[in-house]
Structure 1
């Protein structure tokens, strides 16, 4: 098997698991917060919003930092860092004793993420130009599939095996992603000491600045609208459903 194809298979699995890990908590988060001792519906919704959003906020802040680290030390070390860190942090969420510990772990999860970005860069740089389009297109399906299936997986595990086991199983899958990445992903990395353009220099080179700003604002608003219901939808379904035994799956 060609090296680029083996890297693609391993990275696809890792990105899929990472997508599951980032999204599987959505339906079970309010229920888990209630299990940790928060009983007021308003407080549950508030804590759910904080715990859900803090991961993505920190991820946005630290993604450029991990990108710069990948340029300096290689993409595979970033894959190993992110997959091992996610495995440990997500697994530890199952041992949370209060909501503040859970929020702290979610914050840490946002800091150490970056697996998907490193995967994309590695595949782009290690695949020949003839197969690069196919490889990147295939890879993009992994994170999307994981994000779409993740909530269903999290809800199914939470209903059938308990909320804590949802974190343990996801952490175990991420550990498998770490092991397969360590064993099978190969990278021929040569560090290039070149001047990196700053933010102002990059912005000066953008040809359609107003269009770029409009697209940024539009995409930001759409994302806020879509994700704003994530932490409260379980609370809402609980109010609508007479049978609360399968709320996470619903």
Structure 2
């Protein structure tokens, strides 16, 4: 019962956290354009740099955060992450220049390790039998947050592009208060270990990744998986507004519907797929669907096609929890935080490189070109190629995976 209550608490925390993130998405490109004093079309490179700055700081600090959570517990680290995220939204709400947005994003990237710590928390309270389902529920929690957040953000953004950032700040600080009073510690004292800065830094994390002999190729797969996902995460607002003339509300509504699909699939089907097919087959199925769907999104000629593709796109999220489960089950209990920190570092590298690549590809095939010559779907075509590479590397990784516990 205690485990169920702990899971419910962390689930609610993640939902609120994701709602705050979702609120700002429809308006962030417009705020970037406003503070940079350029048009929306010309703001693509600035937008990519801002996303990359957040990911860079997360890459540097998430291994430290993961190591600290292994030493001091998940709860204090998670509360600090909530505070950092709220501070970021305050900076963006008041931002008179682009520099303020960059500073806010850097603070959030450095302190905001909610995903790292939340997944370590889930690993603490899960058994080998229900770990895949619980990791899938993390995706469902983010999905629910992305149902609520973008819908609210789209409405507020059409009224005032800064209003969503104020709403997100309020929500984050409310989450901090909620977490302080209801969130219990998940890491038992006997499972804690001394903090080691040589291991718990970005260089140490990369060394640790290399030292995970049986998991090294899976880290490559994780990198490619998240790199391919950057196509939609970075260019969706630009793609839909410039190709289909969507308003911020339209963008928010579409993201909300994607969130419904993701929450339904990951929350309701991730456990079923893991039991029915196992993590390996689930990963293959998800990645194949990913490759086909992302190319179809880039090829869409009518807006309704994007809505039709939301359901198959939701299944692309099954690969993440499946791969994560394979890796977590091969890692010792007292190293789960370090593993999640290393995974977050890999994700962050993808999130540093991804926005720069995807937005540059998008800009090079749209900016300054006649409407009939623009290739709005170029990031999605590139994403499809990257997913195919991930499938190939996953096949290689399976030959290396052992069930030895990595410490």
When normalised by structure 1's length, the TM-score is 0.79
Contact 1:234 1:248 in 2 (8 A): no
Distance 1:234 1:111, change over 3 A: farther
Task: Name the structure, 1 or 2, with higher relative contact order (CA <8 Å, separation 6+).
Answer: 1
Residue in structure 2 matched with residue 218 of structure 1 by the alignment? 224
SS at match of 1:100: helix
Residue 177 of structure 1 aligns to a residue whose secondary structure is helix
Give me the CA root mean square deviation: 3.1
Distance 1:204 1:133 in 2: 24
Point out where structure 1 has 5 or more consecutive residues left out of the alignment: none
Match for residue 169 of structure 2?
171
Match of 2:70 in 1: 71
Using the TM superposition, give the Cα deviation of residue 17 of structure 1 relative to its aligned residue in structure 2, in angstroms: 2.3
Q: Tell me the distance in 2 between the aligned counterparts of 1:16 and 1:136.
A: 14
User: 2:303 — aligned with what?
Assistant: none
Of residues 206, 210, 218, the one that matches 1:203 is 210
Q: What does residue 249 of structure 1 align with? A: 249
The Cα offsets for residues 169-210 of structure 1, whole Å up to 9 and x where unpaired, read as 11111112111111111126413349879655653553375x
Secondary structure class of the residue paired with 1:232? helix
Q: Secondary structure at the match of 1:206?
A: coil
Change (3 A) 1:53 1:181: same
List per-residue Cα deviations over 1:52-89 (Å, max 9, x = no partner).
Answer: 33223322332211101111111100111011221222
Alignment of 1:1-250 (within 5 A): 2-36=1-35, 38-126=37-125, 135-147=134-146, 149-160=148-159, 162-187=160-185, 189-190=188-189, 191-193=192-194, 200=207, 203-207=210-214, 211-212=217-218, 215-216=221-222, 218-230=224-236, 232-233=238-239, 236=242, 240-241=244-245, 247-250=247-250
Q: Is the 8 A contact 2:27 2:162 kept in 1?
A: no
Identify if the C-alpha distance between structure 1 residues 179 and 194 changes in structure 2 by more than 3 Å, giving closer, same or farther.
Answer: closer
**In 1, are the aligned partners of 2:20 and 2:149 still within 8 Å (CA)?**
yes
What's the secondary structure of 2:37's corresponding residue? coil
Distance 2:215 2:181 in 1: 44
1:36 alignment partner, SS class? helix
Listed as ranges, the gaps of 5+ residues in structure 2 are 251-407
Give the number of aligned pairs. Answer: 241
Distance change >3 Å, CA 3–CA 62, structure 1 → 2 = same
Q: 1:22 to 1:52 in 2, by over 3 A?
A: farther
Scaled by the length of structure 2, the TM-score of the pair is 0.51
Distance 1:184 1:119, change over 3 A: same
Matched position secondary structure for 2:235? coil
Q: Counterparts of 2:83 and 2:208 in 1: how far apart (Å)?
A: 35
Structure 1, residues 86-134: CA drift from partner, whole Å, max 9, x if none? 1222133111111221122112211111112212222332456776565
Q: Which moved further from structure 2: 83-92 or 65-74?
A: 83-92
1:165 Cα offset (Å): 1.8
Preserved contact between residue 70 and residue 195 of structure 2 (Cα < 8 Å): no
Aligned-partner Cα distance in 2 for 1:137–1:159: 33
Instruction: Say whether the 8 Å CA contact 1:20–1:146 is kept in structure 2.
Output: yes
CA distance in 2 between partners of 1:20 and 1:217 (Å):
25
What secondary structure is seen at the aligned counterpart in 2 of 1:207? Answer: coil
